[in-house]
Structure 1
Amino acid sequence: MNASEQKQFAGVVGWPVAHSRSPILHNHWCEKYGINGEYVALPVPPGELEDCLKELAEVGLRGVNITIPHKEEAYRLVTQRSETATRAGAVNTICFLEDGTTTGDCTDGSGFVANLQAHGVEVAGRVLMLGAGGASRAVVAALLDAGCEVLIANRTRARAEALVEALGGGEVVEWAEWPQILPSCRLLVNGTSLGMKGQPEFDWDAVLVEAPAGLVVADMVYAPLETPLLAAAKRRNLQTIDGLGMLMYQARAGFAAWFGVTPEVDEETRELLVRSLG
C-alpha cells in the first residue's frame, strides 16, 4: 500500500444498516489488495436519501451501495442509469463522478446469477420465483435475460402482475397453486420473508413433497445462512444455495468502480462472512 495516496471512502446506505455484512466484505478486500480505502455503514432514515447523497459526494466519497428501503428512490435520484438498473427499476450501486453527476447500477440480479453459476447450476429452463419485491425484480430480470422461463408467485397477485408488465416477460401463477407447479421446475428461488424470525411460520416440508430430485433451491436471504426453506430442502437431499454468494458477487462491480480492483470471490472471503454471522 502506498501510504502517500489519499485514502478513498465508500459505504452502504440503508435503514437500518447495522446488520449489513458489506463493510466486513469490502474492508477485507481493501486489506487483501493493499488498497488505502475504507467502507463504512451509513444509516439514513427514509426521506433523507437525496440530501445524504449530495453530502457524501461533497465530502469526496467514491460511491455507495444502496440497500432497503432506498433502492427505488436511488433509481430516481441518480443522473445516469445502467440498462440493468432500468430493467430492475432500482439502484444498489452508485458512483459519484468528478463532474458532479452520479451513475446508478443494479447488480443484485447479475450477482444472483453469478452465484448460481459458481455452484455449477445451469441457468436455463423453468424457474419459480416466490415474491415480487425489489430484489426479486432484479433477479427475475437477470433470469429472463439469461433465457429462463420464469414463473412468479406472490401472495398479492397484483404485485406479481405489475412486475411481469414492467419487465415485459415472465408469467404470473396463483400463490395457492405454486406447489403443484414445482415438479416442472429446475430452480426454486425464495424472495419472500416466509419462515423468517418474526414472520408467520410456513410449512416448507409440505410444499417440497412434490419437488423433483434435480430441483435447485435458492434463498436470497443470508441471515440466517440456513433459512427454513433451505433446511427443508436439505432434508429432501436437494441442492441448496444460500444468499451469501449473491452478496459477494453483487459487491464486485461496485468495489471495482470505487477502488480500481475487481476482487475475487473465494472460500477465505466466504468463511470471514460466515464467522461474522455467528
Structure 2
Amino acid sequence: MILSGKSRIAGVMGWPVGHSRSPRLHGFWLQQYGIDGAYVPLPVPPDRIEPAIRALPALGLAGCNVTVPHKEAAFRLVDLLDPAAKRIGAVNTIVVRPDGSLEGRNTDAFGFRENLRDGAPAWDPAAGPAVVVGAGGAARAVAVALLDSGVPELRLVNRTRARAEELAADLGPGVPVRVIPWEWRASALADAGLLVNTTTQGMAGQAGLDLPLAGLPPATVVTDIVYTPLLTPLLKEAKARGNPVVDGLGMLLHQARPGFQAWFGLAPKVTPELRRFVLEGL
C-alpha cells in the first residue's frame, strides 16, 4: 500500500463489517496497480448511518461501499441515484462527486451479469425462462440483470408468495415476470435455461435449498450468489447431474469494479490471481 498526503481513501460501511471481503479485494488491486490509496472497513451502527454518509465529503473520502444493513438507508440519503439503483431500490456504492454531492449506485446487477458471462460464456438468455429463488434485495438485482439481458420470462419462486408478488409489481408493468407458488417450485424448472438461488440457503451453517432438481433440463445453467462455501449443496447436486454451474464469488469480485474505477481512477480486472487471493481469506 502506497500512502501520501494525497491518498485517495474509500471504504465499506456496514454493521458489523468485520466479515466483509471488500478490504482484501480492493487492497489487492491497490497494491497490484501501485495506487496511492487505501480502502478501509467503516463499522457504522444503524442509528448513525445518516451522519456517517453525510460526513464522507467533509472527511475527504472518495466514497464507499454500503453493505448490510445500510443499502436501503443509503438509497434514501444520497443526493442522486443511478438508473440501476432506482430500479433495484438499494445502493451499494457511493461516489463523492467533485461538488461534494453524493451519487448512489447499485453495481450488484452488473456483478451478477459479469460473473455469469465469465462462468458460463455459452449461456444464451433466449434459451429459456430464468428461475429466481428468493425475493429479497439480491433477487431484485438479479431480476434486473436478467431482464436487461433479454430472458423471455422470469419466474420468481419464494416461500412467502406476497414478497415475490411485491417484487414482480416493482419490476413494472409489461415485464415478463411470473410468480410461482412455493409448492409448485419443482415444476418451474421444466424448461428453464437458468436457475439462480438468491437466498442464504446453502451458506455455511445453514440448511441447503429445498428444491428438487429431477425436472431440471441437463443444459440448464445453475448459479448461486452464496460463495461460502464456494460449491453450495445446490451447485454440488447440479454439477453431479451434469449441469453447468457458476459459483457466487465472481459476483462479489465484479460488482467491485465500477466503484474502484470511480474512486481510484483505474478500471481493475478480475483475474485467477485475484480469485485465489480472496479465497485464501475466506
Q: Same fold (TM over 0.5)?
A: yes
Confirm whether residue 185 of structure 1 aligns to residue 192 of structure 2.
yes
Contact 1:13–1:43 (CA under 8 A) maintained in structure 2: yes
C-alpha separation in 2, matches of 1:194 and 1:173: 18
Alpha-carbon RMSD: 1.7
For 1:271 and 1:217, the matched residues in 2 are separated by: 22
Partner residue of 2:142? Answer: 139
Q: What displacement does 1:256 show?
A: 0.2
Whole-angstrom distance in 2 between the partners of 1:178 and 1:203: 10
1:129 aligns with 2:132: yes
Q: Say whether the 8 Å CA contact 1:116–1:122 is kept in structure 2.
A: no
Alignment partner, residue 194 of structure 1? 201
Shift of 1:200: 4.1
Specify whether residues 221 and 195 from structure 1 end up closer, same or farther in structure 2 by C-alpha distance, changes over 3 A only. Answer: closer
TM-score (norm: length of structure 1) = 0.94
Deviation for aligned residue 1:57: 2.6
Q: Is the 8 A contact 2:204 2:229 kept in 1?
A: no
Q: Is 1:225 the equivalent of 2:227?
A: no
Deviations 1:208-228 (A, max 9, x none): 122111011110111221212
Aligned-pair CA distance for 1:201: 4.7
Any idea what SS the aligned residue of 2:17 has?
coil
Paired AA for residue 191 in structure 1: T
Residue deviations 1:147-199 (CA, integer Å, cap 9, x gap)? 11211011111111111111113211111112112021011000112233443
Q: How does 1:1-278 map to 2 (within 5 A)?
A: 6-119=6-119, 120=121, 121-124=123-126, 125-148=128-151, 149-168=153-172, 169=175, 170-204=177-211, 207-277=212-282
Q: Deviations over 1:219-249 (max 9, x none)?
A: 0111221212112212212111111100111
Following the alignment from structure 1 to structure 2, what is the Cα–Cα distance between the partners of residues 39 and 29?
10
Separation (CA, whole Å) in 2 of partners of 1:104 and 1:235: 41
Which whole-Å deviations, capped at 9, do the CAs of 1:48-82 have from their partners, x for residues lacking one?
21111122331111001111111111111110000
Answer yes or no: is the 8 Å Cα contact 2:203–2:228 preserved in 1: no
% identity of equivalent residues: 49
Give the superposition deviation at 1:100.
2.3
Q: Secondary structure at the match of 2:219?
A: coil
After TM superposition, what 4+ stretches of structure 1 lie above 6 angstroms from structure 2? none
**Within 2, Cα distance between the matches of 1:42 and 1:234?**
38
Instruction: Supply the distance in 2 between the matched residues of 1:159 and 1:203 (Cα, whole angstroms).
Output: 18
Counterpart CA distance in 2 for 1:59 and 1:88 is: 28
Q: Which runs of 5 or more residues in structure 1 are unaligned?
A: none
C-alpha change, 1:210 and 1:80, in structure 2 (3 Å) is same
1:25 aligned counterpart, secondary structure: helix
Task: Give 1:10 shift.
Answer: 0.5
Q: Could you tell me whether the CA contact under 8 Å between 2:4 and 2:36 is conserved in 1? A: no
Consecutive unaligned residues in structure 2, runs of 5 or more: none
Alignment TM-score, normalising by the size of structure 2: 0.93
Length, aligned pairs only: 275
